[in-house]
Structure 1
């Protein structure tokens, strides 16, 4: 996959891992479009990305998915990479809550159903490009749950299963590549509640992704996630 001259949409791109990836790809000479729910934070992030475009909206909301997908098709016809990074997670103990199912529903909608739908809206568009990619930001949680994130891991495992199936579906169409990134604990505001200060910097995730794109390495383990890959990722 070429690593320069792309037009890239990054959901949840106004902070954390998404912003780090935006900065890395921007520095490499790509056109960047970032999405965020908070308009103020989105504008702040754009100040660090000269020439980038921001699209405010919540991709966990169906109407916003339709609106953002249409805006991308109409205003950014050169779009050839989407990075599904926006996510939701709740830190809690199962023996201290009575609404785990409600928290799980929010996580599953944001981390799984919404990604399937948004990708579905844009795939026909991407398939028309000479070179395109879908990049799903997964998690080390794919490989095992944690009691402080009791329902989050299941949503990422579901995303992993979907990503593998999506890759297999389009593996004979060489113009569309499907990547999955597996960050471990990362030092972001998103992970602060579960000790994120002890995690790796988000820039490390961005660095690994760029290397993987250069190598056409579709599985992208980062940091501690590499222990789950006993051979060079395929």
Structure 2
């Protein structure tokens, strides 16, 4: 996959891993469109990026997914790479909550079902491009759950299974590539509740993805996740 000259959509691009990826790819000569729920945070992020725009919206909501996909195709028809990074996670103990199923439903919708739908909405457009890609930001949680994130890991395992099936489905199509990134604990606001301050920099995730795109390396382990790819 080329690493410059792309038009790239990044969900959850106003902070954390998404913003780090946006910065890396922007500096490398790509047009960036970031998405997030907060217009204020999006505008703050745009000040840190070159050649970038923003589309506000909540991809966990079906109407927003449809609207954003439509706007992307109409306003940014050159878009050829989507990075599904937006996520949800709840930190709690199963013996201290009575609504784990409700938390799990939110996580599964945001981390899995919404990704499937949004990707489905953009795939016909991407397949018309000479070179395109879908990047799903997964997690080290694919390889094992943690008691403080009891239902989050299952959603990322589901995303992993879907990504593998998507890659297999389009393996004969030479103009589209399917990537999966496996961050470990990363020092972001998103992971603050589970000790994110002890995690790696989000810049490390961005750097690994950039290198993987240039090498057509479809599985992208980062940090501690590399132990599972030896």
**TM-score band w.r.t. shorter chain:** over 0.9
List gaps (5 residues or longer) in structure 1.
none
CA distance in 2 between counterparts of 1:45 and 1:139 reads: 24
The residue number in structure 2 matching 1:115 is 115
Question: Are 1:218 and 2:225 an aligned pair?
Answer: no
CA distance in 2 between counterparts of 1:86 and 1:30 reads: 20
The residue number in structure 1 matching 2:102 is 102
The residue number in structure 1 matching 2:157 is 157
Please tell me the root mean square deviation across aligned C-alpha atoms, in Å: 0.4
Q: Deviations over 1:12-51 (max 9, x none)?
A: 0000000000000000000000001011001000000123
CA distance in 1 between counterparts of 2:214 and 2:134 reads: 15
Question: Are 1:170 and 2:170 an aligned pair?
Answer: yes
Question: Bigger shift: 43-52 or 159-168?
Answer: 43-52
4+ residue segments displaced more than 2 Å:
none
Contact 2:27 2:50 (C-alpha < 8 Å) held by counterparts: no
Contact 2:26 2:51 (C-alpha < 8 Å) held by counterparts: no
The residue number in structure 1 matching 2:129 is 129
The residue number in structure 2 matching 1:12 is 12
List gaps (5 residues or longer) in structure 2.
none
Contact 2:137 2:181 (C-alpha < 8 Å) held by counterparts: yes
The residue number in structure 1 matching 2:47 is 47
Q: Pairwise mapping of residues 198-209 of structure 1 onto structure 2 (< 5 A)?
A: 198-209=198-209
TM-score between both structures, scaled by the size of structure 1: 0.98
The residue number in structure 2 matching 1:84 is 84
TM-score between both structures, scaled by the size of structure 2: 1.00
Q: Deviations over 1:121-163 (max 9, x none)?
A: 0000000000000000000000000000000000000000000
Question: Bigger shift: 89-98 or 42-51?
Answer: 42-51
CA distance in 2 between counterparts of 1:38 and 1:31 reads: 21
CA distance in 2 between counterparts of 1:132 and 1:25 reads: 15
Question: Are 1:26 and 2:48 an aligned pair?
Answer: no
CA distance in 2 between counterparts of 1:219 and 1:52 reads: 27
Secondary structure of 1:60's match? coil
Question: Are 1:68 and 2:82 an aligned pair?
Answer: no
CA distance in 1 between counterparts of 2:32 and 2:132 reads: 15
Secondary structure of 2:42's match? helix
Secondary structure of 2:190's match? coil
Contact 2:30 2:51 (C-alpha < 8 Å) held by counterparts: no
